[in-house]
Amino acid sequence: MDLGWYVERTRSGPCFVCAFLAGDPEYAHETVFEDEHHVAFLDRWPTLPGKVLVAPKAHVEHAVRDLDAAAYTRIMLVVREVALAVEEVFPSERTYLYSLGSRQGNAHLHWHIAALPPGVPYERQQFHALMTEHGVLSPSPQEAAAAAARLRSAIAARAIRTPPG
C-alpha cells in the first residue's frame, strides 16, 4: 500500500463509501452485511485480520450531530452485532471499535471493527496495531471472499434486528 497515494485519494477523490455503494469498481469492497440504512464491508487495507468497516448508507459526517438518537442507536446495534460476528470468525483478545475521518478526508461516517489476535505483544497492540504506517495485510481476493463469506454466515446466524426508522 502506498500511504501517500492513499492520503491523496482520501482527500481529493470521491467519498469512498458513496463510491463503493454506487458500484464504482475502484472502490470495491467485500460486503458482509447490508440493510436499508447500513452497510458493513471488509477493509481493503486491513491492519488486523477480518477488519470490517460499518457505515450508514446516507452520507453523514458526524456521529453526534448528524444522527438523531434513533439513527445513532440503530447503527451502534449494527456495529455491536457485526463485532460479535467478527469475534466468532477471528480469534480475538480484544475487539477495537473506533470511528475516524474528518472533513479533510474520509468524511463519510464509519466505524472500524478490528479484532486483536491473542498473543500480540503489548507494544504492538492498540494504536500500533491499527496504524497503516506499521504495515497492512494483503489478503488475496480469494482469501477476502472466504473471510467475507464466513462473516456473512456468522452475521446471518445472529439475525441482526435494528429498531425501525
CA dihedral 98, 19, 5, 104 (to 10 degrees): -60
Q: At what angle do helices 141-158 and 69-89 cross, to 10 degrees?
A: 120
Asked whether residue 123 is assigned to any structural domain, the reply reads yes
Query: 98 lies in which domain range?
Result: 3-158
Secondary structure class of 130 (helix, strand, coil): helix
Average pLDDT score over the chain: 90
**Structural element, H or E, at residue 129:** helix 127-130
Asked whether residue 133 is assigned to any structural domain, the reply reads yes
Q: According to the model, what pLDDT value does residue 162 have?
A: 67
- Number of domains, the chain: 1
Asked whether residue 40 is assigned to any structural domain, the reply reads yes
Q: According to the model, what pLDDT value does residue 134 have?
A: 87
Asked whether residue 32 is assigned to any structural domain, the reply reads yes
pLDDT tens-digit readout, 11-34? 777 888 999 999 989 888 999 999
The answer to whether the Cα torsion of 70, 73, 76, 78 is positive or negative is: negative
Joined together, the cell numbers standing for residue 4 give 501517500
Q: According to the model, what pLDDT value does residue 165 have?
A: 64
Give the pLDDT mean for 58-62. 92
DSSP 8-state code for residue 108: S
Asked whether residue 127 is assigned to any structural domain, the reply reads yes
Give the pLDDT mean for 134-139. 90
pLDDT tens-digit readout, 89-135? 999 999 999 998 778 778 889 999 999 999 999 999 999 999 888 88
Task: Give the whole-angstrom CA distance, residue 83 versus residue 52.
Answer: 8
Residue 136: which CATH number?
A: 3.30.428.10
